[in-house]
Amino acid sequence: MGLNLAQKIIKAHLVSGEMIAGKEISIKIDQTLTQDSTGTMAYLQFEAMGIPRVKTKKSVAYIDHNTLQAGFENADDHKYIQTVAAKHGIYFSRPGNGICHQVHLERFGVPGMTLLGSDSHTPTGGGLGMLAIGAGGLDVAVAMGGGPYYLTMPKVCRVILKGRLNPWIAAKDIILEVLRLLTVKGGVGKIIEYAGEGVKTLTVPERATITNMGAELGATTSIFPSDEVTRAFLKAQGRESDWVELKPDDDAVYDEEIVIDLDKLEPLVALPHSPDNVVKISEVGKIKVDQVAIGSCTNSSYVDMMKVAMMLKGKTVHPDVSLVIAPGSKQVLTMLAQNGALADMVAAGARILESACGPCIGMGQAPASNAVSLRTFNRNFEGRSGTASAKVYLVSPEVAAASAITGVLTDPRELGEAPVVSMPEEFLVNDNMIVPPAEDGEKVEVVRGPNIKPFPLNSELPEKVCGKALIKVGDNITTDHIMPSNAKLLPFRSNIPYLAEFCLTPCDPDFPKRAKENGGGFIVGGSNYGQGSSREHAALAPLQLGVKGVIAKSFARIHMANLINSGILPMTFVDEADYDSIDCGDELVIEDARNRIKNGGELLLRNITKNKDIKVKVALSERQAEMILAGGLINYTRRQSNQ
């Protein structure tokens, strides 16, 4: 039986386990990336492991999230990351060099390699044919130290792309269509592998837009084959020697399949407040727009920016619209500056932001109250923009630019001829903002600012776990709910005690207070609990508040791994209807917890207040069970090394 592409790369990197969907496997990691908002924690954890130099083929530390320096904290964290990177053999991408995923695609990604990144959009690298996975910082720290990455062997879903896109229809519309079909839960436990004749009509940055937003499907990762288009991209980046051809076997088998007719697609939009709330632009009508934001790791490539510049040339942004543009990398921005496209954007009234995440993570440009904000980004979760009442719509760069000019949500096909931009045969390559690590790391002194506080450590799981249900939330709770991130909070990513004061506050402002007053307890969630980002702060902040377990209908992959790494019990209802039999404030107890976890059985959760027994599952591999018993990955690793 032939292998599909995902299986081929996994097989070539397999360290342990069998490639059977649903079973735990571990793989060797070739490259890692971190960014600054998860990086400080990842490097603190890496330092705690006492390994002098990374053991990967390449590890890169990017500064792209926390670039709004309203106080000393972010700059201090940048300095910490720069020095810790120099010391331990990690390349450092300076602030201003661009968004991690865009720069990694341009300068470091290699087809067929594995990449683990402390950011949920790491699968962007799948556009180049990498097996690129997002994970919590601790997992990335372990990979930097040469340890394998453990994951559940995913199913592989083939998406067959037929035909080619019509003018004005974009790669963004393809992934919005996939989201419409599969929803934000549809990719959980799966790798999405793209195939079909439509693949060769898409450039690498277009493919990367699609694999990037596979994160919103909850997928483990997404991947495209590596073909002549990939070769042309790498050649244009001066890296043709990194190219290898990669494709599935002719008789490859897939667990699922969907077909998308590219020529039937229309401009699409994800309505507030979920990336899978997708409809045709024509169904929404000409709603008034207050802000348009173009950029992010989804849509900030050279070609995206050139199309926008051509559409803006000679026009003026509508007087009621604020248009902000953040080109994805220094490479993109320099090329726009050199060929005059930047001047066209500025002349039209665009507000140019530095090459960084910026408004995508609420780092500035929060919209006005009740504003409609059109964004080319990947997430439109409630409040993520920094304005709780704002309504964020996700669109392609073409729709964004058209609407910035007209002031209303606009189908770009109304504007006549579409701009045609081809991929450059040569990108402008200048890696002067990438600092190589020191040759002799021992001589480097790591600089730590006062913002860096020790992170919480759990203790062994007791036999009896008890506490109150501290909060009860619904379906699809995101990590932005659990650990909000905005310009005010992001500077405290290395200060968990401070961050914990804001844990789950978008759902209930009193949660941190209640958790502390009760000495911790449980969180009750619906399905897909913890979707969204890779931030392990969404596990560390509850740990700081004494949370012992989360009982949910189902979990998102990265968040569940982060809970286990922190020693917090992730439990799912055996009978989902039992969700209704717990209310906030109920007294809960689990007897015989250690024993039952050791034996891989179900747990019995007793709701003392309601006098009811509820069966819950803890779906753990043997290794994860050991970790939970030990009180998290760090305690587990310490114990292993003392044995």
Q: Which residues are catalytic?
A: 64-65, 119, 379, 533, 535
Q: For the segment 535-554, give every residue that binds ligand MIC (CB under 6 A).
A: 535
E-assigned strand segments in 118-189: 131-134, 149-152, 155-162
Site string for ligand MIC, 102-121 (x = CB under 6 A): -----------------xxx
Query: What sign does the CA torsion over 408, 410, 414, 415 have?
Result: positive
Instruction: Measure the CA–CA gap between 550 and 523, rounded to whole angstroms.
Output: 5
Out of ligand MIC, ligand SF4, none, which partner does residue 485 contact, by CB within 5 to 8 A per kind?
Answer: ligand MIC
Q: Work out whether 297 is an interface residue with ligand SF4 (CB under 6 A).
A: yes
Q: For the segment 440-499, give every residue that binds ligand MIC (CB under 6 A).
A: 485
Q: Which two tokens stand for residue 272?
A: 């507030």
Q: In this structure, what are the phi and psi dihedrals at residue 558, rounded to the nearest 5 degrees?
A: -70, -40
Which long-range contacts does 334-339 make (Cβ < 8 Å, 24+ apart)?
334/428, 334/430, 335/302, 335/424, 335/427, 335/428, 336/302, 336/305, 336/306, 336/309, 338/428
Torsion of CA 505, 506, 510, 511, to 10 degrees: -60
- Whether the upstream peptide bond of residue 273 has omega within 30° of 0, thus cis, is yes
Instruction: Measure the CA–CA gap between 212 and 130, rounded to whole angstroms.
Output: 12
Query: What separation in angstroms does the CA of 598 have from each of 6, 594, 619?
Result: 32, 6, 12
Q: For the segment 319-358, give every residue that binds ligand SF4 (CB under 6 A).
A: 357
Q: Work out whether 487 is an interface residue with ligand SF4 (CB under 6 A).
A: no
Q: Report H helices in 237-359.
A: 281-284, 302-312, 330-339, 341-348
Site string for ligand MIC, 45-84 (x = CB under 6 A): --------------------x-------------------
Query: 112 vs 295, which CB is nearer to ligand MIC?
Result: 295
Query: 37 vs 565, which CB is nearer to ligand MIC?
Result: 37
The residues with which 394 forms a beta bridge, in sequence order, are: 270, 375
Q: In this structure, what are the phi and psi dihedrals at residue 587, rounded to the nearest 5 degrees?
A: -85, 125
Residue with tokens 């200048």: 430
Nearest approach in angstroms of CB 232 to ligand MIC is 29
Site string for ligand SF4, 190-229 (x = CB under 6 A): ----------------------------------------
Q: Work out whether 378 is an interface residue with ligand SF4 (CB under 6 A).
A: yes
Does an H or E element contain 172, and which?
helix 171-182
Give residue 5's identity as a one-letter amino acid code: L
Nearest approach in angstroms of CB 439 to ligand SF4 is 31
Nearest approach in angstroms of CB 577 to ligand MIC is 32
Question: Which of 121, 391, 535, 559: binder of ligand SF4 (CB under 6 A)?
Answer: 121
Out of ligand MIC, ligand SF4, none, which partner does residue 107 contact, by CB within 5 to 8 A per kind?
Answer: none
Question: Which of 365, 534, 544, 566: binder of ligand MIC (CB under 6 A)?
Answer: 534
Out of ligand MIC, ligand SF4, none, which partner does residue 99 contact, by CB within 5 to 8 A per kind?
Answer: ligand SF4
The residues with which 465 forms a beta bridge, in sequence order, are: 590
Residue 635 burial by Cβ neighbours in a 10 Å radius (0-12, 13-18, 19+): middle
Question: Which of 97, 376, 451, 533: binder of ligand MIC (CB under 6 A)?
Answer: 533
Instruction: Measure the CA–CA gap between 222 and 214, rounded to whole angstroms.
Output: 6
Total site size for ligand SF4, rule CB under 6 A: 11
Site string for ligand SF4, 36-65 (x = CB under 6 A): -----------------------------x
Out of ligand MIC, ligand SF4, none, which partner does residue 535 contact, by CB within 5 to 8 A per kind?
Answer: ligand MIC
Q: For the segment 75-104, give every residue that binds ligand SF4 (CB under 6 A).
A: 99
User: Which residue stretch of 142-150, 176-184, 517-525, 532-540 sits at the interface with ligand MIC (rule: CB under 6 A)?
Assistant: 532-540
Nearest approach in angstroms of CB 529 to ligand MIC is 16
Instruction: Measure the CA–CA gap between 133 and 38, rounded to whole angstroms.
Output: 15
Phi-psi map region of 333: left, alpha, beta (phi>0 left; psi -120 to 50 alpha): alpha
Out of ligand MIC, ligand SF4, none, which partner does residue 91 contact, by CB within 5 to 8 A per kind?
Answer: none
Query: 486 vs 607, which CB is nearer to ligand SF4?
Result: 486
Question: Which of 361, 402, 473, 500: binder of ligand SF4 (CB under 6 A)?
Answer: 361
Give residue 37's identity as a one-letter amino acid code: S
Question: Which of 59, 93, 296, 478: binder of ligand SF4 (CB under 6 A)?
Answer: 296
The whole-angstrom distance between residue 366's C-alpha and the CA centroid of its chain comes to 21
Total site size for ligand MIC, rule CB under 6 A: 13
Query: 135 vs 357, which CB is nearer to ligand SF4?
Result: 357
CB atoms within 10 A of CB 261: 14
Query: 149 vs 579, which CB is nearer to ligand MIC?
Result: 149
Q: How far apart are the first and last CA of the chain?
A: 42
Q: Which two tokens stand for residue 90?
A: 């990690």
Query: 298 vs 572, which CB is nearer to ligand SF4?
Result: 298
Q: Work out whether 394 is an interface residue with ligand SF4 (CB under 6 A).
A: no
Instruction: Measure the CA–CA gap between 424 and 302, rounded to whole angstroms.
Output: 9
Nearest approach in angstroms of CB 297 to ligand SF4 is 3
**Could you say which DSSP state residue 6 is in?**
H
Q: Which two tokens stand for residue 49?
A: 């492991």
Position closest to ligand MIC via CB: 533
Q: Work out whether 361 is an interface residue with ligand MIC (CB under 6 A).
A: yes
Query: 145 vs 275, which CB is nearer to ligand MIC?
Result: 275
Q: For the segment 562-621, give every residue that binds ligand SF4 (CB under 6 A).
A: none
Query: 332 vs 461, which CB is nearer to ligand SF4?
Result: 332
Q: Work out whether 25 is an interface residue with ligand SF4 (CB under 6 A).
A: no
Residue 626 · residue 451 · CB < 8 Å = no
Residue 1 · residue 253 · CB < 8 Å = yes
Residue 134 · residue 217 · CB < 8 Å = no
Out of ligand SF4, ligand MIC, none, which partner does residue 296 contact, by CB within 5 to 8 A per kind?
Answer: ligand SF4
Q: In sequence order, which residues have a C-beta less than 8 Å from that of residue 231 and are 6 or more positions away? A: 240, 243
Contact residues toward ligand SF4 (CB under 6 A) are 65, 99, 119, 121, 296-297, 357, 360-361, 377-378
Contact residues toward ligand MIC (CB under 6 A) are 37-38, 65, 119-121, 134, 361, 485, 532-535
